[in-house]
Structure 1
């Protein structure tokens, strides 16, 4: 019984202590005051505003001081200082360098709070202006170019340049409190705070102008001349540009804006070059044509409406290759492997036939192969030894087990190889149905 009384006494004492603490630190007591000792009246976008405030409360301990910057009614920046005692407090608050924000007034608000959460506020207006740089810089991997001022917020570089220039824009610190501003490429647009290269490019190398506007972030020139049959290719990334277009069999195909086109590998299944002209080899239809600049070739993929084509039950559509020991424009540079994103589309040649042409030792391995035909660019429908046959004296269709290849995977017969530098055409014929596919392999 004494233990119970003792425990209750402790609870009562703790409760009494809490009551005293609540009374000692009741909400909204005291009288916090702010006196501005150093408050700027003008600044530039991109500055770090320096301020000094005298903070005090005669009766209650202080808690914190907040400095908030507003563009119209939108808070764009804030900094919080701890205020343990009365006195002067100094700090910096960043002035954001936003796109399309013209010169104007901003509001700098100071909020002082004591430990009882009572606050006081004081605001001042600040005149803000875009920095008027003498120059900015275009920074590439190999060189930094000076872009001189040619107008308000407008900067330009005119020089003898390669047709592609990749770099980010850097504006120097402006004034005593300025900060370095960097502009790079994000989401197919120029954005502040990035150093990802902006893909400037011209239709040809030579003397031309690269420009940038620090107010609206407009930049030029960009790719406007990469086109197939007059259709501008859309940028996928730095190395790939593509368009979905309808092409006619034997129709002329024009490629515009690719300066070193003569050095590109031209896929013989889809294009024939005659002099300076190109003609389309595959069946008429809609295709996705991707200009791959890293490997200098055109990826051509059959389409069905707005999607990549797949094999239909009637034998029309598309066939795809996934597997090892084959690749375009070369096995060494771009082997397909079991990466479905790199699947090769066979060229539809009509009458439910599909072909791919390879070169021994270049686009196909000479002494071993292990790939198969799929219904789509990805996993799903595929041909096995029960749906695909061949009478080729070079290639066999794997059946699993002792065949040395999984069902449907192609292999080379014992003692057989592809001749180095020789071309071979693989044709899959589905005219008898998708379950009776016939593969022929012909040396050209």
Structure 2
């Protein structure tokens, strides 16, 4: 029995030995790399052309890889199929990254044959950042030359509107250089993009738009848009928002909007005197103010903590309007409708009362309204006819059988709002959330 086991072990050992010999036999051939180009220096942003002679006298070749490393990180690679011995040419891109100083990169040439045998050759390349003679700011209205004003620093100084959107173009430098673009991605300047950068100044006139090709820092930016000194955050090109605490009768200052006098002033949230001074009207609390540059309108919404306010059991919080026949700054441009994203926050005026003010024919449809009151900005709690009443002889509350769904408001048959007149809709919850009273007053 011992003899039999010994024979098995010897046989197994021979099998393993032969298997190892087979694996070793896979790595055959002798790939040879002979560079034919000088690889001594290049610039960031270059397409570096190389010429290499490759051969293997024993095994057919497979691929030649040109790999560029910044320190230990491979930043670019070109792969060439090498079916036969001979000379091959290609290009490897030298990335133009921000905040990378002049230095030495490594170009690694990796030649592989069909038996997976590899040969490598490393070459050092001195890299420098290109010194562009100028840059170009490309906007919808035309191109503006940005002159070199310092190391890596460029500026276009002339009369600009307060808001300028455009991308920056850098010319080709040197025989291996490429034209490069810088645009706006993820709220920062990024290479390779043509998305417009949202430059803005506090006012129109003569000022400089600048860009640094080393750090990618650009100016001026949207920091000009601020409410009471708090910078507004960008939502998109046309909307900016800020969340802040406001107290009743507090003066509100808005900076950076050149044509502020042309903006709609919501009478539920602000009063405006002859000098343009804005005063906050609702009860004190935290509010979100969204500047909509398309509508030229400040949307104000009550908040609770970091979220939008909802109606609380004690009657505080917020009431929201969703439906047809109402819209700020006007129904022609921004009717609320049944899109909950457009829900309108009624101004909390104190003592558990909420109001919305508007002009018939502008804010309200004069002959047809169909909106209702909700507990939140979205579907969920809502006021139906059983928990809201009115003594108005102009506006009625639907019960599902009188021409409106339960809780929806309508205009009494045969009547209409007076076009051009101002109306105030007030919801009073002082008797309890389920005993809301609607009053409609013509100013």
Equivalences for 1:150-189 in 2 at 5 Å? 150-189=149-188
Structure 1, unmatched stretches of 5+, are 1-21
The structural deviation recorded for 1:166 is 0.8
The structural deviation recorded for 1:411 is 1.6
Q: Which moved more, 1:261-270 or 1:390-399?
A: 390-399
Q: Which residue of 2 aligns with 1:67?
A: 66
Q: Which moved more, 1:334-343 or 1:60-69?
A: 334-343
Q: Which residue of 1 aligns with 2:359?
A: 359
Q: 1:294 to 1:214 in 2, by over 3 A?
A: same
Q: Which residue of 1 aligns with 2:437?
A: 438
Q: Which residue of 1 aligns with 2:259?
A: 260
The structural deviation recorded for 1:237 is 1.8
- Conserved 8 A contact 1:155-1:211: yes
Q: Residue 404 of structure 1: SS of its match in structure 2?
A: coil
TM-score of the two chains, using structure 1 as the length reference: 0.92
Q: Which residue of 1 aligns with 2:222?
A: 223
Rounded to whole Å, the distance in 1 between the matches of 2:255 and 2:26 is: 73
The structural deviation recorded for 1:407 is 1.5
Rounded to whole Å, the distance in 1 between the matches of 2:39 and 2:156 is: 35
Rounded to whole Å, the distance in 1 between the matches of 2:137 and 2:221 is: 15
The structural deviation recorded for 1:131 is 1.1
Deviations 1:296-338 (A, max 9, x none): 1111111112221110001000011111221111111111112
Q: Which residue of 1 aligns with 2:45?
A: 46
The structural deviation recorded for 1:25 is 11
Deviations 1:325-382 (A, max 9, x none): 2111111111111221211100000010000001111111122112111111112111
Rounded to whole Å, the distance in 2 between the matches of 1:403 and 1:189 is: 56
Equivalences for 1:206-355 in 2 at 5 Å? 206-276=205-275, 277-355=277-355
- Conserved 8 A contact 2:341-2:378: yes
Q: Residue 332 of structure 1: SS of its match in structure 2?
A: helix
Q: Residue 38 of structure 1: SS of its match in structure 2?
A: coil
Rounded to whole Å, the distance in 2 between the matches of 1:106 and 1:385 is: 75
Rounded to whole Å, the distance in 2 between the matches of 1:234 and 1:23 is: 65
Rounded to whole Å, the distance in 1 between the matches of 2:414 and 2:41 is: 84
Rounded to whole Å, the distance in 2 between the matches of 1:36 and 1:224 is: 53
Q: Which residue of 1 aligns with 2:10?
A: none
Q: 1:417 to 1:26 in 2, by over 3 A?
A: farther
Rounded to whole Å, the distance in 1 between the matches of 2:221 and 2:95 is: 27
Q: Which residue of 2 aligns with 1:390?
A: 390
Q: Which moved more, 1:330-339 or 1:352-361?
A: 330-339
Rounded to whole Å, the distance in 2 between the matches of 1:225 and 1:23 is: 72
- Conserved 8 A contact 1:68-1:110: yes
2:204 is the alignment partner of 1:205: yes
Q: Which residue of 1 aligns with 2:145?
A: 146
Q: Which residue of 1 aligns with 2:82?
A: 83
The structural deviation recorded for 1:201 is 1.1
- Conserved 8 A contact 2:323-2:371: yes
The structural deviation recorded for 1:248 is 1.8
2:125 is the alignment partner of 1:126: yes
- Conserved 8 A contact 1:370-1:409: yes
- Conserved 8 A contact 1:39-1:50: no
Rounded to whole Å, the distance in 2 between the matches of 1:56 and 1:225 is: 63
Q: Which residue of 2 aligns with 1:111?
A: 110
The structural deviation recorded for 1:252 is 1.7
Rounded to whole Å, the distance in 2 between the matches of 1:43 and 1:323 is: 64
- Conserved 8 A contact 2:200-2:224: no
Rounded to whole Å, the distance in 2 between the matches of 1:173 and 1:318 is: 58
Deviations 1:102-157 (A, max 9, x none): 11110000000000000000010111111110000111111110001111111011
The structural deviation recorded for 1:38 is 1.6
2:374 is the alignment partner of 1:374: yes
Rounded to whole Å, the distance in 1 between the matches of 2:101 and 2:375 is: 56
Q: Which residue of 1 aligns with 2:17?
A: none
Q: Which moved more, 1:234-243 or 1:188-197?
A: 234-243
The structural deviation recorded for 1:188 is 1.5
Aligned residues: 423
Rounded to whole Å, the distance in 2 between the matches of 1:58 and 1:23 is: 21
Rounded to whole Å, the distance in 1 between the matches of 2:74 and 2:152 is: 25
- Conserved 8 A contact 2:101-2:129: yes
Q: 1:27 to 1:39 in 2, by over 3 A?
A: farther
Equivalences for 1:8-47 in 2 at 5 Å? 26-47=25-46
Rounded to whole Å, the distance in 1 between the matches of 2:83 and 2:251 is: 79
Q: Residue 96 of structure 2: SS of its match in structure 1?
A: coil
Rounded to whole Å, the distance in 2 between the matches of 1:263 and 1:182 is: 36
Rounded to whole Å, the distance in 2 between the matches of 1:104 and 1:425 is: 70
TM-score of the two chains, using structure 2 as the length reference: 0.93
- Conserved 8 A contact 1:327-1:334: yes
